[in-house]
Homo-oligomer: A and B are copies of this chain.
Amino acid sequence: MALFRTKTKEPDADPVRLDGVAFRYGNSPNILSDLSLTLPAGSFHFLTGASGAGKTSLLSLLYLSNLPTEGKLSLFGQDVAKASRNRRATIRRSLGVVFQDFRLLDHLSAFDNVALPLRVAGVSEENVKAYVSELLGWVGLDGLFEARPEVLSGGQKQRVAIARAVVGSPKLILADEPPGTVDDAIAERLMQLFVELHKLGACVIVATHNEHLVSRFPFPRLHIERGTLSVLPAVSHIEAGE
């Protein structure tokens, strides 16, 4: 599988660095408090925690949808709170995000949805076509290039969302419950995408409830409980991609 353009140059700074980060919505109590953590390039973590623990909230800080209420968050060595809006847009182009609710654009075909990050980044239409077609084939959506999200099944939508997240060969991948609603054969393939990018040097975080999934891969877990984060060792030591 050669789905991704290899990076010739490793990012200089750690993709994710949290220093005493706290976060809350509006005036409600803290959802996350005093998180300090550095995730280097080429790392792979699961993100676990009960429903409502704050997994999506933590990811929303990392994909720059929210800013920390306290503390400092640096992505690729840049303090996101201090970065200009255009700078943040540039950082976002190094991210690949699978949203828990997919966030596909209903008026665009599956192909155009996946192509969106490339087009926004100004990739040539020729390359867009090549990358997107290959990736959609890989996630098992051959023949559905022109289908709009409303005619896709739940699992098909999720695969489009995952393809969109990884199409730009991002250096930081944030996936919220990615293989939740697909059968195991496909879940395996989707995980392989992340693992492959991880091997190419990307920093990957996969939020999940699926204990089966967590136990299948030898990756450490970030566990959120009562607003604080702890790093737990991998549940399993079976090598991925077998």
Contacts and interface: CB of A to CB of B under 8 A. Distances in A.
Q: Which of A184, A185, A209, A212 has the most C-beta atoms of chain B within 10 angstroms of its own C-beta?
A: A209
A8 interface: no
Nearest to A31: B153
Q: How many chain copies?
A: 2
Interface string A142-163: 0000000001011110010000
Interface in A176-191: 176-177, 180-186
Contact of A181 (B151, B180, B183, B211): B180
A66 interface: no
A188 to B, nearest CB: 12
A19 interface: no
A236 to B, nearest CB: 15
A27 interface: no
Contact of A209 (B51, B159, B177, B182): B182
Contacts of A50: 183, 185-186
A172 to B, nearest CB: 21
Contact of A211 (B25, B151, B184): B184
A51 B55 CA distance: 26
Given A51-B156, A52-B155, A153-B56, A181 B186 contact: no
A101 interface: yes
A52 B156 contact: yes
Interface of A: 25, 50-52, 55-56, 100-101, 140, 151, 153-156, 159, 176-177, 180-186, 209, 211-212
